[in-house]
Amino acid sequence: MRVVEVPDTLDYRSVDRLLASVEAAEGDRALLDARHLRWVDPVGMIGLLGAARVLRDRSGALPRLQPPESSVVSGYLTRMGFFEAATDLMETPPIRRRGGGDSDVLLELTTIAENHDVHAVVDRVQERAGAILSRTLRYPPSAVIQFAVILSEVCQNILEHADAPGWVAAQSYNWSRRLGRHVLILAVGDLGRGFKGSLASRHSSRFGERWSDATALEAAFIHGLTRFPDQGRGQGIQQMRKQVRRWDGVIAVRSGTARIADVPDWEDLPPLETNLPPMPGAQITILLPERLPEEGR
C-alpha cells in the first residue's frame, strides 16, 4: 500500500502539495495519511476529495484515510460533513452523526447535483450569511443579497461545466496573524471534466495547439466564453469577479494543471499558474476579508 502524506495544513495554498504527492504515488492502493493534519479549510476538504478520486481511479480500489490524531480536527471534519461526502471516494472511519456546527460555519460541505440543490443551499445560508457578513466582516446589509447571487453562480458553474456532482462549503476564520482580520472562505469544487473538457467542443479549434487548461481558464475567466451558444451565457463569472474585486477579495479558479486568479494587494497568488499537479474537475475559491473601519459602508 502506497502512503500519501497529507500536509499538516491543508488549505488553498497547500492543496497542490497534496496533489503532487498523489501524482508521485504508484498505482497500488493508497493510504492517505492525515494523522498530522492540524488545520483544514473548505478548499482543503474538497481538495482531499479530489485526491481520493485520482487514487481510486488509478488503482481501482478505494484509498484508506488515516484520520487526524487531533480530536479537534476530526470533530471539525465530522461537523462539516466531510466523512459523509467521502463515502464513495475513500475508506473512512465509522461516520458519526454531525454535531451542531460552530457559529462561524456558514455552510457545511454540501452536495450539488441538480438545480434544486442550488436553490436549497442559497435558502439555507441566508440567515447565517447575514450574521457573518454584517457582524463579523462589517459588510452592509445589501451584501447578503450580492453574496447569495455569487453563491448561486458558483454552484451553477458545477452544473454547467462539470456534468458531475460537486460540493460547496463556506466558513469564516480569524486570520489574526496573517492578515489581522477575519475572512470568509467559500469553496466550490467538482470531479467532472474541468474547464478544458467543457469548452473544448466549441472553442478548442480557434486556439489550435495552444488549447490547454490555462487557455480554457483564460477563455472563461477573462473573456466569459461558455460551452453554450446562448448570447449572454457565461457572464456569471465576470459578475463574480467584479463583485469580489469591490470587496477587495480573492477569486481563483483551479482546473486540470492550471490556476487563474484575481488578487488584491494583500494576497500574493500569481494571476496565472501552469504545470501544476493535475486535479480532476474544477474548483473555485473566494476569499472575502473583513472591512476595515476606515473603509466605511
Phi, psi dihedrals of residue 146, rounded to the nearest 5°: -65, -40
Burial of 77 per CB tally in 10 Å (0-12, 13-18, 19+): buried
Q: Which domains does the chain have, with CATH numbers?
A: 1-93 (3.30.750.24), 101-297 (3.30.565.10)
Contact at 8 Å (CB) between 81 and 107? Answer: no
pLDDT at 85: 92
How many other C-beta atoms are found inside a 10 Å radius of the C-beta of residue 121? 20
Nearest C-alpha neighbor of 173 from the set 290, 58, 92: 290
Provide φ and ψ at 257, rounded to 5°.
Answer: -110, 20
Written as one letter, the residue type at 200 is A
Alpha-carbon distance of 265 to 286, in angstroms, equals 15
Q: Which residue has the cell 504515488?
A: 25
Q: Distance (Å, rounded) from C-alpha 265 to C-alpha 133?
A: 21
Q: What is the pLDDT of residue 101?
A: 52
Q: Closest by alpha carbon to 134, among 282, 291, 256, 13?
A: 291
Q: State the pLDDT at residue 213.
A: 95
Q: Give me the pLDDT at residue 297, please.
A: 47
Residues (pLDDT < 70) of the chain are: 95-103, 162, 227-235, 294-297
